[in-house]
Amino acid sequence: MSDWRHTDLMQTPTTLWFLVAAFAAACTVTKTNEPATLPPIQDVTWQYTAPDGQAPETTAPPDATDDSSVDAAPADVTTADSVLDGGSSASDTAPDGVDSGDTVSSTWSVPACSTITGTPAITFTTDQGTTLAATELSFTDPIITGGVVTTDVDDLMLATVGAEVIASPDAGCTWSSLLTEPLGTKAIYRLSEGVDGAAWAWTPDAAEVHLIDGVGATASSVSPTTIGAVLGFAANQTNGDRAQLLDQTGRVYITTNAGGDWISVSASPLPPMGSSPLTGAFHPTVTNTVFVGFSEDGFMYSEDGGKLWASSSGLSVLGGGKVAGHAIAFSPDDPDLVWVMAVDADQSTQESLGRHIYRSSNGGKTFAIAFSHSATTVLNQSMLLAPHPTDSNVLHTVFGTGFFLAGFGANQYGTDVYTYTHLDKGLAKQHHDFEVINGVGSIAFNPGDPSVMYLGMIFFDPNL
């Protein structure tokens, strides 16, 4: 199992995040009996040479005594590679098992309930979305459940409902507020599993990071001060002090002291290719490898922590057209299998509208289409990609109007839950009406039984 837990289920265009934030920012879920407050695109290899004597950038949290740049890395940091790989500490040796996106644990329980209490924001399914667990409460205000994770503490789950953090001690059956105050003011907070019941919360709308203690019910702001909004995040699974992130300028930052300092290990911003970065993700086992999706240039990857960049191929039907790279996910069972959602502009007049889910079997260097948008298979830029934790042949994904069309009128299509099986090219779809699911903002799997899939819900008022 990898030492690192990466968060890449869902990355969506920055412009769409702002649209969603506009309708949901300041909205909360009203609860009862809970604590208050709750391709080849281009054959490009690009290298940046820093000026002589230029040191890596370091940032400190806002409440640090001195928030100016620090020229020296922490004492245990020797090179970028050693930092990203977790150093040579014996405590960083990965345990045996499967890096599933959720800690594999034989003592984790399956949910022993048919109705979820404490929140309407989480449900689960054991049959690929055909049936969903009922929720005792109902939504009253627009909300996005941007993150849901299982932890390495048996049966402990955490979720972010807007800026509120909620927790479940019993594998997702009962939920309550974990903190007395919201994390911040953003509409969406993603979660990356940490160590000892902890999770890292971050938002694609700002340079904002929080470290949440799910056992002690506390959270601390560990935000860097000089980076752009966060595009991707990975947390070390054996050393809770280590994490790394990718910001919207293309720089990779690491921390070895639980967010006390963030050190830039990239020599430069991303190649100036004329299009904007939309999403990013770290390879779960080769932590120097990072991917970035662009608005016009598909996906690029770096295998040295952001110094050299090359283009993924196979995304453009013409081999050089404009492709927007919107989402990326690695198979926990086999990280060389990579799934992306991208839009090929050269196919915009075809039935597919150029919208495809692609698959790579060589770590993201080359891609081929797995399945495409059609009249009966609706794909868009905000697709969640959730590879099965123990079967690299299977991908789960969802389409829901509650996310994509929020703020655009009363389109009440509902949500489709897809299960794609690559060996036989099978695509199963379970549709749920708008009254059942507006949309899905996050997905997690039960570590004891990965057939249990948790869905973090989205709700919006169609009259907005």
- One DSSP character per residue, 217-279 reads TEEEE---SS---EEEEEEESS-TT-EEEEETTS-EEEESSTTS-EEE--SS-----SS-EEE
* Higher local confidence (pLDDT), 362 or 439: 362
Domain span including residue 51: 4-459
Q: Which residue, 242, 193, 308, is CA-closest to 84? A: 242
pLDDT of residue 457: 93
Give residue-wise pLDDT tens across range 406-454: 444 446 788 999 999 999 999 999 999 888 888 899 999 999 999 999 9
- Comparison of pLDDT for 11 and 75, the residue scoring more: 11
- What is the count of structural domains for the chain? 1
Residues 188, 204 contacting (CB under 8 angstroms):
yes
Q: Does residue 97 sit within a domain?
A: yes
CATH number of 30's domain: 2.130.10.10
User: Is residue 411 included in any domain, yes or no?
Assistant: yes
Residue closest to 441 by CA, chosen among 188, 134, 202: 188
Confidence of residue 260 (pLDDT cuts 50, 70, 90): very high
CA-closest candidate to residue 194, choices 387, 378, 5, 405: 5
Query: How wide is the angle at C-alpha 209 spanned by C-alphas 167 and 440, nearest 5°?
Result: 50
Residue 464 lies in a domain: no
**Pick from 457, 445, 449, 325: nearest CA to 396:** 445
Residue 244 included in any domain: yes
- Could you tell me what percent of the chain has a pLDDT over 90? 57
384-387/252-255 β-pairing: unpaired
The pLDDT of residue 317 is 87
Are the beta carbons of 291 and 364 closer than 8 angstroms?
yes
Task: Tell me the H-state helices in 316-453.
Answer: 401-404
Whose CA is closest to 359, among 383, 341, 333? 341
In a domain, 87, yes or no: yes
Domain membership flag for residue 434: yes
Residue 338, pLDDT > 70, answer yes
> What confidence tier does 329 reach under pLDDT thresholds 50, 70, 90?
very high
In the numeric block, the tokens 């560990």 are attached to 222
Task: For residues 344 and 326, give the distance between their C-alpha atoms in angstroms, rounded to a whole number.
Answer: 11
Q: Confirm if 41 and 313 have CB atoms less than 8 A apart.
A: yes
For residue 237, the model assigns a pLDDT of: 87
* Domain-located, residue 369: yes
Tell me if 261 is assigned to some domain.
yes
